[in-house]
Amino acid sequence: MTEIAVKKKSRTKLDMTQGSIMKLVVLFALPIIASNVLQQLYTIVDTLIIGNFCGPQSIAAIGTSSQPIEVFMCVFMGIGAGVSILVSMYTGSKDDEALGKTVKTSISFTYLCAIPLSILGIVLTPVILKFMNVPEDTWDLAVLYIRIVFLGLLGTMGYNMNAGILRGLGDSSSTLLFLIISSVTNIVLDIVFVAGFHMDVGGAAVATIISMYLAWIASVVYVMKKYPQIGFTFLPKSLDGKSLSDILKMGLPLGFNNSIYTVGHILMQSLINMQGSGFMAGASVAGKIMGVSSVAITSFSSAMSTFAGQNYGAKLYARLRKGGKIVPVYSAAITISLGVIMYIFAEPLIRCFTDDPEAIKYAMLCVHIQVPFQWCYCVLNTILNLSNGIGAVKYSTIVNLLMLWAVRIPSAYLIAIFFDGHYVTGAVSISFIFGMIASLLFYRSRNWKKIKDLEMAQSNMAFS
């Protein structure tokens, strides 16, 4: 390999087992932050186009669409996260054989899941929307949008799996390029289909699936050319039994975690839907605003998972413990800073999406209730990704289970019954506080104690 090639590789693939921890974490997180900002920009433009060329019912239809899609994606997304963790561990331990088998198996698994889930999603969409109490004036638009999006499930699942593999390898910057391709395509097609051809939410859905297929294909071509050593293919070719077992062992608890969260989201959305399309539209717009203030959460969480996996695989326990303590602090500080900005400029930003007084009123209410507590979610999510990165996936599952079913859902129903249903999103903030406290207890768990003991054993061997 030439010197130029080595330098080129180092700019895209980060070895998180050596060098300044925060510098590497920030370098890894920055492309993901940029990707998240780009995704938020896309959703903002999407909502702007829908809001200005359609109406509040169309905004409400798109706003309530994510939960039915999550129902069918949740377990797969958890398994994809498990693949990313395994890839990071094998990258850290330099086990190229296991890495190649894991990647090839993940490709086959994606195809096995995507096609049946697409069919089920199209068939069961009305059942899920009925359970969610979607209002009559939003029903037809929501069914149309979701069914079209399900046609693009293979592209969405394929892209997300490939992005997870790349993050596990230490390459977070390439996904930004794919998202640029996807977002620009989506925005242009939104303008053409919605503003130009007046196709309403159907046009937005078609634009979404076309853009996701482009992102998936671009990621396939990139991985095949950039990392030929892992044997990546476009079509499935092999399914290794041991690799599949390892993937399911790591990914199923994460998938279960996602599934219980998805069911919880549906219950929360059903409470929101019961307040009418005006509140639904307001909550949807508020979600776009809060998404911008939370870009550091998923970015640093992904960085933490890869950092933990690579250093755990490389058996660098002292470095792992140090990073596990400082990364949550930095990510929380960034989330607080972004939250302050979004809180101050919330109203003018909301008015860009809609001029409906009722939607504006409720969007402001949701922002004021949730934004001040997003930093709590940042801390808990970063720590739980630390536990996932070292393979302690059961801990994060238990915390999320308690946070959702013991705190958020009961709190939401109590608020709706005894106070005012328009404040149900306050239950989310309450669950963030609880989750942060529960996640901090990870540092006193036997999993973290094991890391500490391994560090001490290494230290004693070094001095013996």
State pLDDT tens for residues 376-426: 999 999 999 999 999 898 898 899 889 988 999 999 999 988 888 889 989
| pLDDT value at 7 more than 50 | no
| pLDDT value at 87 more than 90 | yes
The model's confidence at residue 11, banded by pLDDT at 50, 70 and 90, is low
Whole-number Å distance between alpha carbons of 416 and 423: 7
Domain ranges of the chain: 17-463
Q: What does the pLDDT read at residue 296?
A: 79
Quote the DSSP letter at residue 19: S
Q: Kindly tell me the burial class for residue 48, based on how many C-beta atoms sit within 10 Å of its own C-beta (0-12, 13-18, 19 or more).
A: middle
Average pLDDT of the segment spanning 427-440 = 96
The model's confidence at residue 8, banded by pLDDT at 50, 70 and 90, is very low
Among 81, 110, 431, 435, CA closest to 255: 81
The model's confidence at residue 111, banded by pLDDT at 50, 70 and 90, is very high
Q: What does the pLDDT read at residue 2?
A: 35
Helix, strand, coil abundance in the chain, percent, nearest 5: 85, 0, 15
- Determine contact, residues 249/118, Cβ cutoff 8 Å: no
Phi/psi region, residue 302 (left: phi>0; alpha: psi -120 to 50; beta: rest), is alpha
| pLDDT value at 212 more than 70 | yes
Q: 332-351: per-residue pLDDT in tens?
A: 998 899 889 888 998 998 88
The model's confidence at residue 356, banded by pLDDT at 50, 70 and 90, is confident
Residues 6+ away with beta carbon under 8 Å from 161: 80, 83, 106, 107, 110
The model's confidence at residue 463, banded by pLDDT at 50, 70 and 90, is low
Q: Could you give the percent of the chain with pLDDT greater than 90?
A: 47
Q: What does the pLDDT read at residue 464?
A: 60
User: Mean of the per-residue pLDDT values for the chain?
Assistant: 87
Average pLDDT of the segment spanning 238-267 = 84
Q: Could you give the percent of the chain with pLDDT greater than 70?
A: 96
Q: Count the neighbouring beta carbons within 10 Å of the beta carbon of residue 280.
A: 26
Of how many residues is the chain composed? Answer: 464
| pLDDT value at 86 more than 60 | yes
Between these two residues, 2 and 362, which has the higher pLDDT value?
362
| pLDDT value at 45 more than 80 | no
Q: Count the neighbouring beta carbons within 10 Å of the beta carbon of residue 11.
A: 10
Average pLDDT of the segment spanning 195-201 = 87
The model's confidence at residue 5, banded by pLDDT at 50, 70 and 90, is very low
For the chain, the straight-line distance linking the first and the last C-alpha, in angstroms and rounded, comes to: 39
Between these two residues, 46 and 207, which has the higher pLDDT value?
207
Average pLDDT of the segment spanning 101-105 = 94
